Amino acid sequence: MTNNSAHLTVSLEEFGLSRYEAKSYVTLISRGPMSASDLAYYSEIPRTKIYSTMSKLESKGLATTSKGKPVMCTAIPPEDAFDTIIHEQIQKVTTMNTLVADLKKASDESRRSRNSEEKRYVQIGAGSVLGQMRTMIDGAESSVMVVVDQFGLGLLVECKEQILAAGRKGVEIRVVMPANMIGLAAFQALSRNVSVRAADCAQNCLVFDRAEVLILDDRDGRGAIFSSTDILGLSQSSAFEALWQKAMETDVLADMTYEEAQEVCFIINTITSMGLPYVMRFLIQSDGAKSDLYDLLEKNGIALTDKTFDDVLSMIDVIMQITCSGHARMEVGSQSITVESPRNSGGSLPWVSILDRYLQVHGYKTRTIIQNGRTKSDSGDGGEKAHIRLSKN
């Protein structure tokens, strides 16, 4: 059998003919009418199968056989033989199209009855994620909200040119990352161009213009884009805003070494998460014995005693800026330290306590005066202020 005959045979099988039927028909079309024995020979079909094969071709209207001896086999011309089959195939396609349309209509009606809308997302391969991030940042019109771990931060830094371009056209870009990444080179590079805060987070999610959402998988580097998803976009935006409000500001840490920035973050986390419970528990268990937040830091490995006064004052000043927008400074020409905050919330008091205890440990006698916006001694501008007056014992 020639290559062309083999090709035709396979094609006929796709129309529903058996292999023997297809080979017999192609042989008859190619060589013309012939006896059953010759047909078996040229079509390479077992002689025992040729008569049953011809009978099936006759029933399908593809061939005829004579009644005499020898039995002669003749193919019906293709333009006549396949007219019925072609119409059957057309009818099947038409029926299938109708079925698909009916199924789609039923699906749409079902979603409308549930008052829901089908949402779609597009998967992005690991090799295309960075390019997609750059494209989406470049296309942002008003805002980009970002939550990243170290994997996501590495990709974000690679988008520096797009971030700069977005900033020039007024796009607000805010980033939240874990505190243990503050001070890394990637953080320092990023913090010069966008607003960065620190909080506990374990995902990589970017929200563009409160609508499109890009989620990254740090396990295999792939991503997924959720588009036209008003509910998801707004939900992720709200979650980001809540996280942003609770997150720690990091602007004043941008120029610190990693070790310095991490020490500040650890001190803030220790005092804010353990401070009050520690003092209360100690007072209850020790019959009112004196303890303070300075001891808590020492117990957790922060040896303030070994630091110079200038270093401690500088550290408290940085912490005040982060936690309550305040400052701590030594008053020039006087033996007095001023710790103040524009917020009348008590946020400066833990740091006043720590600074006061440090001075006492180093041999100073201190007298602390605390003011707030509701006292007569204050100027009335609100906020809170503490003066630590000191003299050497």
Q: Which residue has the higher pLDDT, 333 or 393?
A: 333
**Residue 93 belongs to some domain of the structure:** no
Q: What is the CATH number of the domain that holds 175?
A: 3.30.870.10
Give residue 9's pLDDT.
81
Which segments of the chain does DSSP mark as H helices, in order?
A: 3-14, 19-31, 36-42, 47-59, 78-81, 83-113, 129-139, 150-157, 160-168, 185-191, 230-246, 258-285, 293-299, 309-324, 349-361
In a domain, residue 91? The reply is no
* CATH number of the structural domain spanning residue 38: 1.10.10.10
Are 351 and 369 contained in the same domain?
yes
Question: Are 288 and 308 contained in the same domain?
Answer: yes
**pLDDT score of 280 more than 60:** no
User: How much is the average pLDDT of 195-207?
Assistant: 91
Q: Does the pLDDT of residue 172 top 90, yes or no?
A: yes
pLDDT of the residue at 28 = 92
pLDDT for 18 beyond 70: yes
Asked if the structure places residue 167 within a domain, the reply is yes
Instruction: Please give the tally of structural domains in the chain.
Output: 3
Confidence of residue 375 (pLDDT cuts 50, 70, 90): very low
Residues 278-306 have a mean pLDDT of 70
Same structural domain, 233 and 349: no
Please tell me whether residues 300 and 246 are part of one structural domain: no
- pLDDT (average), residues 328-336: 85
Question: What per-residue confidence (pLDDT) applies to 133?
Answer: 94
Residue 94 lies in a domain: no
| Residues 238 and 342 placed together within one structural domain of the fold | no
Chosen domain end from 233, 253, 273: 253
Is the model more confident about 116 or about 164? 164
Question: What's the mean pLDDT in 342-346?
Answer: 79
Do 314 and 381 share a structural domain?
A: yes
The pLDDT of residue 113 is above 70: no
Lowest mean pLDDT among 88-97, 123-132, 151-160: 88-97
Q: Are residues 187 and 280 in the same domain?
A: no
Question: Which residue, of 220, 253, 286, is where some domain finishes?
Answer: 253
Neighbours of 92 (CB within 10 A): 10
* One domain for residues 182 and 302: no
Query: Which one of 209, 224, 253 terminates a domain?
Result: 253
pLDDT, tens only, 131-160: 999 999 999 999 999 999 999 999 999 999
The CA radius of gyration of the chain, in Å to the nearest whole number, is 41
Q: Are residues 186 and 280 in the same domain?
A: no
Using CA atoms, how far apart are residues 64 and 45, in angstroms rounded to an integer?
18
> Position of tokens 């609100």?
382
Instruction: Mark whether 21 and 67 lie in a shared domain.
Output: yes
In a domain, 110, yes or no: no
Question: Helix, strand or coil for residue 221?
Answer: coil
Residue 71 per-residue DSSP state: P
Residue 112: inside a domain, yes or no? no
Domain encompassing residue 279: 258-392
Is residue 143 a contact partner of residue 173, using CB atoms and an 8 Å limit? yes
What pTM was computed for the model? 0.63
Do 162 and 38 belong to one domain? no
Quick check: 14 pLDDT over 80?
no
Whether pLDDT at 227 is above 90? no
Helices 309-324 and 258-285 cross at an angle (nearest 10°) of: 80
Q: Is the pLDDT of residue 173 over 80?
A: yes
Calculate the average pLDDT of the chain.
85
Do residues 170 and 185 share a domain?
yes
CA distance from start to end of the chain: 114
